[in-house]
Every structure is written in structure tokens, then in C-alpha cells.
Amino acid sequence: MVKENRVVLRNHGELDPLKIDEYIARDGYNALKKAFNMGQDDVIEEVKASKLRGRGGAGFSCGLKWLFTKQVEADQKYVVCNADEGEPGTYKDRMIMQYDPHTLIEGMAICGYAVGADKGYIYCRGEYPYILDILNTAIGQAAEKGLLGDFSIEVRYGAGAYVCGEETALLASLEGKRGEPSCKPPYPTVEGVWKKPTVVNNVETFASVPSIINKGAEWYSSIGDPDYPGTKILTLSGDVNNTTFFEVPTDTTLREVIFGLGGGMKDGKAFKAAQVGGNSGAFVPESLLDTPIAFDSMESISATLGSGAVFVLDETRDIVDVSCRVAGFFVHESCGKCAPCRIGTTRIHEIIERIGQGRGNAADLVLLKDLGSVMAGSCLCGLGQAAPVPILSVLKHFAEDYDAAIARAGEVC
Amino acid sequence: MGGDCLHIVLQNPKSMVACTCFGLRMGDILRLMVLNLKSIYNIQRGGVLVEYKKLVDDYTSMPGGLIEAFHAIQNEHGYLPEAAINEAAEAFKISAAEAYGVATFYSMFSVKPRGKYVIRICRSAPCHVEGAQEVIAALEQELGICMGGTSNDGLFSLEFTECVGQCQERPVITINGEPYAGVTPGDVPGILNEIRNK
């Protein structure tokens, strides 16, 4: 039976998030003090050796990102926390910020020290207004106690745009502009907010850092999958018994998550599919549930770990209807800057809607696949590139559902 | 959209028919006219402009503070009035088009008047499969308005949203940002009454 391993969520439910003394009593801010004594290079080396990879979805080495930022000569550098979690079914970053804000603040301060940045921003999504006071109170307490050294953190508040989870779009929004992504390179590590070198990491990534500094890279890298070590917070929704959150080692399989911690399928129904990683993730069939959640193993089945959302569907769910809604999400969230995404998301949704309404034909499936591959290769940012992923995955694993919908169309005619 | 239609209607009353084709009903247009006339009157008094400027000025020294300024305006007025956007553009030394571009980019900002309480219903897949549509139907019936509309008493507006990150119980709605998770159609009258009695 798989067990939780709470590293990031080690303080969850154990302390009052608004009382810094309770955090300090649980080893809080020791990692930051330790980091100040280690020196910048050793902190970066430790994070690199831990093999911590970004928990926001892209899985890039956290230590390397910090190293690249430190290596750039600049009069000003920034640390930006991406707290714009918008993947449907995901609320892990909210859990961290709402119930243990100091873990995030400490992680950011360690990063600021390591890369030589004295200013940090938390870009919090607009859908979490109740988090702002918690973050500001916690930041104020840490600053008042002089724990952060010369590092300061400002909380900025988004206004409802999924695309701002993409780092260049987030930085544009931070600058008060439309949250449209831009071409990379230059990467934010070289030219980020206000064209200054900037580390952009997810909430969960920063929140992993204090434990790594406290307990060492060796300890962390021995947890879970060797190439994507550590833990990952998963949020379960849909037709499982326990629709809640869990933090598990990264070598945990999807089957263990759904049928172990998740308590199996609701009402004794059979499993049909799980969409992993949020709206931009693939739908995984029963035959692939023994895949570990780690970044690379998910990639090997053309899926992604993404945000760690696990959305489970039982045998009674209409895959065409669900994938139509998934496609509709991207129509709403495409920023419109590049044509393949702006037009592609709309057309994909239109075609699936047509199939669902019993007006589709076999040529539509070919069109969907073509459109998907064009978008994956030509869209400017991750949003458009990933938008066809869930659709292509259902066409691959649940083709019979689409075929049945098209066959119904034949009968109607 | 609402403001654009209003200008067209004022210049050519026959175009009201065209506006209804854009999804605006006669009632909406008339209400917009009344609200805009009110704001035009206020602008002539100058009071509102001063107020917008005051709200915006708190953020001009903050790098990239335009979005924060818009939040402040919207918190105060429920939406971003055209005059306020213009005021912000001037204060941040950008064109009105650029400021308007920011205001309309983000789904939480509205450039048309809304009810005192904005109810947003999540329609992302996890809420979708667990009855968001039934909750929408209950809200529409209870308030006598459609999604996107505002109740006649000016209290409630209904808007779609994508995931609001409260997926432990579904479906989820938010009222002025406060989440209500695991809402059933049967909960709707009680929730609305609770708000009305505030």
C-alpha cells in the first residue's frame, strides 16, 4: 500500500499559517540561516545535486536555472514565484500558500541569496483573493524579524488569465501589460522581468527547497524516481472515492494513486480514463495505469505529469463530451497572439462539438489529428503546443468513443 | 462591447436591432443608457474623475502597477468605467488603446457595469462532469437572467469562469471571489438569500 511522504506539506495542518513562531518552532528559517553560511555557490550546488526539477510542468533542473541566473552580470536580478496555477483540477499551490506560506517565503529567500537577487515577486492568480492577506502577513512577519536579510517580496495579483502560467506571459503581466507570451530565447534567466535576469519557479518548487537545504541533496535525491526525485503533490477529482490531495514519492504509479490513496472508483463503477496534469494533460487508459508519475515515465506514454492534477472518469462518462469541454477551455484561454493557437483551438472545439452533436464524419478525425500536429509544432508557447495533447490522446486511446459518435451521425442522416 | 453599442444606438436608434443581434437585449441597452447618462452627468461634475485619479495615483509609482490600479478601481466601482481606463492611461503614460487592451485581456476585469455581487460558475471539466450545468440552470431560473446577465435589482451578475482551484468538492461557484464548493441546484436559493440578507 502506497504511503504519503509529506516533504512540501510537512507542516500542513500542524501550524497556524499566520503565526511565524509556530513555523520557526518547526525548524522554520533554519534552512535560510544555513544557506547564508554555506555561501551562494554551495547552495546552488546543493540544489543541483538534489536533482530537484521544476514542479510547474516543464521539469527543468532547478539548480541549473539558479546557476544560469547567478552567472549573468547585472545590477539587478529578480526571483519570481509562479503562483498562477490554473490547470483545472489543481489546487496544490493554494494549499501551500494558504496553510504554510513561510515555506514558500523561505524557499524564495534562499533562491534570492543564491542568485544574488534582493527582490522577489509572488505572482498570485486573481482567483485566490483570500491568499493575499495571508502572504502579505507572513512576508511582513519574516521581514520584521529580520530573517530575510536584504531580500524583499512583493505580492502581485493576476486577473484571470490561464496563459500567465507561461513564464514569459507571467512576466509581461507583472510589468502591467497584457499577459502575452514571447519567443524564447532570451530565457528569463538572462532577460526576465524588466529585462533583468530572473528566476521563475513554481510555488511547489520553492517550497521543496528548505527541506533540501536542511536535510541535504543526498536525502532528497534518494526519494522516488532517480531522474525526477522527490515528492509531488497530486490533487484528485472526478469519479474516485477520495477527491483530495496527496504528496507522494515520484515513483508512485497512477494505479497506486487512484486505487490506493484515491480509494478506488466511486459507486463500484469501472475505470475509464484519467486525465493527468490538468486540462493540457493526456487522457490515460486503464492499460497504462502502472506508469509511475515521474516526469520522464509519463512522457514515455505521451502524457505529462504537469501540475499533478488527476481527473478520473468512470465507464459511464462521455469522452466526446468531456474532450469537447477540454477543448472549449483552450478557446477561452488562448491569448490570441499567434494564429495557430487562436484559430486552432477554436477549430478543434468546433469539430468536436460537431461530432458530439451527431454531425461529424470520419474526415473530421483526420482533420483533428492534422490540426493537432500543426499546433504542436507551430504555436508560440506551451499553451497552444499542449492544447491538442488531450485531444490526440483520446483519439489514440478512446477512438471507439469517437467512432461511435460518428456512426450515430450516419444513422441520423 | 456595451459602450460601443451604446454610442451606435445614440447616433442611430434603428441600430438597436443590430445590437440585439450581438446578444444584448433591449433591457440591457436601456439600462446601459441610463447608467452611462448617469456617469456622463458625474463626469460633468468632475467628482468621479477626481476619484478615479486618486485610485490610480496610489499605483503609478509601483513598476507595472496598472493591473493593481485596475483591481482598485474595480473593487470600488464593480467594473472598469471607460473614463477610469482613460485616467489610468494618462497616469501610467500609455495610450488609451494600450490601457484598454490590458483591461479587456483579463477575464476578471469587466468594462461594462455589473451587479453588486458577481457570481462566477466554474465550467472546467471536473466541475462540468459533476453538474455545473444544473447549477447554472438553477441560478438562471432563480435570478430570472441568463449567463452574462445582471438581475433587474442590480444585485447579481452571472459569469462563466474556468477553474478557481477549489476542486476538493465540485461544482464550484464564487461570489465576489469567495468560493462555494460542492454546490447543488438545491443550495442555490439559500445561497442567494444569504447574500440578499447581507
Q: Can you give the pLDDT at residue B198?
A: 86
A36 and A53 in a single domain? The answer is yes
- Give me the residue from B102, B126, B169 closest to A88, CB to CB: B126
Say whether A176 and B164 touch across the interface (CB within 8 A).
no
B159 and B140 in a single domain? The answer is yes
A245 and A195 in a single domain? The answer is no
| Chain position carrying cell 552580470 | A73
A176 and A87 in a single domain? The answer is yes
Q: Residue A412 — very low, low, confident or very high, per pLDDT cuts 50/70/90? A: low
From A94, A113, A95, select the one nearest A46 (Cα to Cα). A113
- Residue B183 lies in domain: 117-196
- From chain A, the residues in CB contact with B102 under 8 A are 176-178
Using the 3D structure, point to which of B113, B132, B155 is the last residue of a domain: B113
User: Is the CB of A130 inside 8 Å of chain B's CB atoms?
Assistant: yes
- From chain A, the residues in CB contact with B109 under 8 A are 159-160
A293 and A160 in a single domain? The answer is no
The set of residues, in sequence order, having a beta carbon less than 8 Å from that of B57 and lying 6+ positions away, is B91
B65 and B86 in a single domain? The answer is yes
DSSP letters along B63-86, please? TTTHHHHHHHHHHHHSS--HHHHH
- Residue A401 lies in domain: 319-412
**Low-confidence winner among A149-153, A329-333, B34-38, B160-164 (lowest mean pLDDT):** B34-38
The C-alpha cell at B128 is 462540468
User: Is the CB of A283 inside 8 Å of chain B's CB atoms?
Assistant: no
**Low-confidence winner among A162-176, A202-216, B11-25 (lowest mean pLDDT):** B11-25
User: Is the CB of A267 inside 8 Å of chain B's CB atoms?
Assistant: no
B90 and B156 in a single domain? The answer is no
B128 and B93 in a single domain? The answer is no
Give residue-wise pLDDT tens across range A9-33: 999 999 999 999 999 999 999 999 9
Give residue-wise pLDDT tens across range A373-394: 999 999 999 999 999 999 999 9
In a domain, A357, yes or no: yes
Say whether A245 and B125 touch across the interface (CB within 8 A).
no
Please give the single-letter amino acid code of residue A70: K
Residues A96/B170, Cβ–Cβ less than 8 Å? no
A93 and A147 in a single domain? The answer is yes
In a domain, A328, yes or no: yes
Spatial separation of the C-alpha atoms in residues B131 and B147, rounded to whole Å? 16
Domain with residue A296: its CATH number is 3.10.20.600
Spatial separation of the C-alpha atoms in residues B130 and B128, rounded to whole Å? 5
Please give the single-letter amino acid code of residue A353: E
Give residue-wise pLDDT tens across range A52-111: 999 988 899 999 999 999 999 999 999 999 999 999 999 999 999 999 999 999 999 999
Strands A152-157 and A119-124: parallel
B72 and B56 in a single domain? The answer is yes
A135 and A273 in a single domain? The answer is no
Using the 3D structure, point to which of A314, A343, A377 is the last residue of a domain: A314
B68 and B9 in a single domain? The answer is no
A40 and A152 in a single domain? The answer is yes
- From chain B, the residues in CB contact with A177 under 8 A are 64, 66, 102
B14 and B57 in a single domain? The answer is no
Question: What is the number of domains present in chain B?
Answer: 3
Mapped onto helix, strand or coil, the DSSP state of residue A37 is helix
From B56, B60, B62, select the one nearest B85 (Cα to Cα). B56
Mapped onto helix, strand or coil, the DSSP state of residue B66 is helix
Say whether A156 and B67 touch across the interface (CB within 8 A).
yes
Domain with residue B144: its CATH number is 3.40.30.10
Spatial separation of the C-alpha atoms in residues B103 and A354, rounded to whole Å? 33
Question: What is the number of domains present in chain A?
Answer: 3
A382 and A273 in a single domain? The answer is no
Spatial separation of the C-alpha atoms in residues A392 and A394, rounded to whole Å? 6
* Secondary structure, 3-state, B130-165: CCHHHHHHHHHHHHCCCCCCECCCCCEEEEEECCCC
B107 and B124 in a single domain? The answer is no
Q: Which residue does chain A place closest to B104, by CA atoms? A: A178
Q: Which residue does chain A place closest to B63, by CA atoms? A: A175
Q: Which residue does chain A place closest to B94, by CA atoms? A: A177
- From chain B, the residues in CB contact with A328 under 8 A are 123
Residues B104/B111, Cβ–Cβ less than 8 Å? yes
Q: Kindly report the average pLDDT of chain A as a whole number.
A: 96
Domain with residue A173: its CATH number is 3.40.50.11540
Say whether A88 and B162 touch across the interface (CB within 8 A).
yes
In a domain, A134, yes or no: yes
B192 and B129 in a single domain? The answer is yes
Q: Which residue does chain B place closest to A174, by CA atoms? A: B64
Please give the single-letter amino acid code of residue A162: Y
A289 and A384 in a single domain? The answer is no
B39 and B90 in a single domain? The answer is no
In a domain, A5, yes or no: no
DSSP letters along A170-201, please? HHHHHTTS------SSSPTTTS-GGGS-EEEE
Using the 3D structure, point to which of A193, A222, A251 is the last residue of a domain: A222
Please give the single-letter amino acid code of residue B87: E
In a domain, A13, yes or no: no
Mapped onto helix, strand or coil, the DSSP state of residue A310 is strand
Please give the single-letter amino acid code of residue A163: V
A151 and A96 in a single domain? The answer is yes
pLDDT in tens, chain B (198 residues): 344 444 444 444 444 444 444 455 666 666 666 666 555 555 545 677 788 988 999 999 999 999 999 999 999 999 999 999 999 999 999 999 999 999 999 999 999 999 999 999 999 999 999 999 999 999 999 999 999 999 999 999 999 999 999 999 999 999 999 999 999 999 999 999 999 998
Q: Which of A237, A311, A349 to mutate to test the interface with B (most CBs of B within 10 A)?
A: A237
The C-alpha cell at B104 is 479587456
In a domain, A217, yes or no: yes
A180 and A114 in a single domain? The answer is yes
Domain with residue A397: its CATH number is 1.20.1440.230
